Structure 1
Amino acid sequence: MVMEKLNSNLYLQNCYIMKENERLRKKAQVLNQENQALLSELKQKLSKAKNSANTIPDLNLSSSSNTNPPSSS
């Protein structure tokens, strides 16, 4: 009788643990998806910023080469 009660208690605890694990697994999956979306967004922003930074020096170089023709006129 004592063993049966102990087994019943252990079974209930095990069921609770499995249910909690499933809940946490789903939560982790949602958080992982959010992380992936945020990482993708950050990579896009960094890529755009890098491209913008690369075009700014080119514009400055072309504007400095434009200053030579007026001085020769």
Structure 2
Amino acid sequence: MVMERLNSNLYLQNCYIMKENERLRKKAQVLNQENQALLCELKQKLSKANNSEAKKSATNIPDLNMSSTSNPNAPSSSQP
């Protein structure tokens, strides 16, 4: 009789633990999905920021091909 009562108590505790485990597993899945979505959003924002910075940097760098055509280091054709 004592063993049956003990067995019943352990069974109920086991059921409670399994139910709690399932609840926590579902919560972990939701948190993981939210984390993945936030990570994706962050990567997109960083990518846009990097592209924006690259464009700003590119506009600040003078295009040497567009500057004067004479090169002081280039050999002159008028010299013998």
Cα RMSD after superposing both structures: 1.8
Question: What percent identity do the matched residue pairs reach?
Answer: 76
Amino acid at match of 2:44: Q
In the alignment, structure 2 segments of 5+ residues that lack a partner are 69-80
CA displacement 1:26-72 (0-9 Å, x = unmatched): 00000000000000000000000011111101111249xx8x78xxx
Amino acid at match of 1:37: A
- Runs of 4 or more off by more than 2 Å in structure 1? none
SS of the equivalent of 1:10 reads helix
- Within 5 Å, give how 1:2-13 maps onto structure 2: 2-13=2-13
TM-score by length of 1: 0.83
TM-score by length of 2: 0.76
Specify the alignment match of 1:33 in structure 2. Answer: 33
- Give the greater-gyration-radius structure (CA): 2
Amino acid at match of 1:59: T
Report the number of matched residues.
66
For residues 27 and 4 of structure 1, the distance between their equivalents in structure 2, rounded to whole angstroms, comes to 35
**Which has the larger helix fraction?**
1
